[in-house]
Amino acid sequence: MTENERRIGSLIIHGALALLAGLAMIGCQELNTPLYFKGTDIVATGGEETPPTTGLSLRFRDPTQKEREALQMQADALGYGMDVPWVSRDKVHIELLYKITNTSNVADDGSPAEGRTGTFNVLVDGATEYTKYDYQIVSDAIAMGDPDEAVFFPLMQSMPKMLAAGQSYSGLLREDDFDEGSLDIDALGRWLDADPASPTFAGVLINDSDVNPVGLNLVPANVVLPALVEINVILQTDVKMTCEYVVRVRDDDDRLLHNDSDTLYETSPTLFQPAVMP
Helix (H) and strand (E) counts in the chain: 5, 12
Query: Could you tell me if 216 and 227 are in contact, meaning their C-beta atoms sit under 8 angstroms apart?
Result: no
Q: Min. distance of Cβ 21 from another protein in angstroms?
A: 10
- From residue 24, alpha-carbon distances to 20, 35, 104, 259 in Å are 6, 20, 50, 22
Q: Which is nearer to another protein, 18 or 276 (CB)?
A: 18
Question: Using CA atoms, how far apart are residues 108 and 93, in angstroms rounded to an integer?
Answer: 38
Binding site for another protein (CB under 8 A): 1, 5, 8-9, 12-13, 15-16, 19-20, 23-24, 26-27, 30-31, 33-38, 97-99, 168, 170, 244-246, 248
Q: Residue 149 in 3-state DSSP? A: coil
- How remote is the C-alpha of 72 from its chain's centroid? 25
Q: Min. distance of Cβ 116 from another protein in angstroms?
A: 22
Q: Min. distance of Cβ 39 from another protein in angstroms?
A: 9
Q: What does the buried/exposed string (b/e) look like for 235-266 if buried means 16 or more CB atoms within 10 Å of the residue's CB?
A: bbbbbbbbbbbebbbebeeebbeeeeebeebe
Q: Min. distance of Cβ 14 from another protein in angstroms?
A: 10
Question: Using CA atoms, how far apart are residues 160 and 61, in angstroms rounded to an integer?
Answer: 37
Q: Min. distance of Cβ 234 from another protein in angstroms?
A: 16
Q: Which is nearer to another protein, 65 or 259 (CB)?
A: 259
Q: Which is nearer to another protein, 17 or 277 (CB)?
A: 17
CA angle 273, 275, 278 (to 5 degrees): 140
Half-sphere exposure for 17 (CA within 13 Å, toward CB)? 6
Q: Which is nearer to another protein, 44 or 223 (CB)?
A: 44
Q: Min. distance of Cβ 120 from another protein in angstroms?
A: 15
Question: Using CA atoms, how far apart are residues 244 and 42, in angstroms rounded to an integer?
Answer: 7
Q: Residue 98 in 3-state DSSP? A: strand
Q: Which is nearer to another protein, 84 or 122 (CB)?
A: 122
Q: Which is nearer to another protein, 34 or 199 (CB)?
A: 34
Q: Min. distance of Cβ 92 from another protein in angstroms?
A: 15
Q: Which is nearer to another protein, 56 or 82 (CB)?
A: 56
Phi, psi of 7 (to 5 degrees): -65, -45
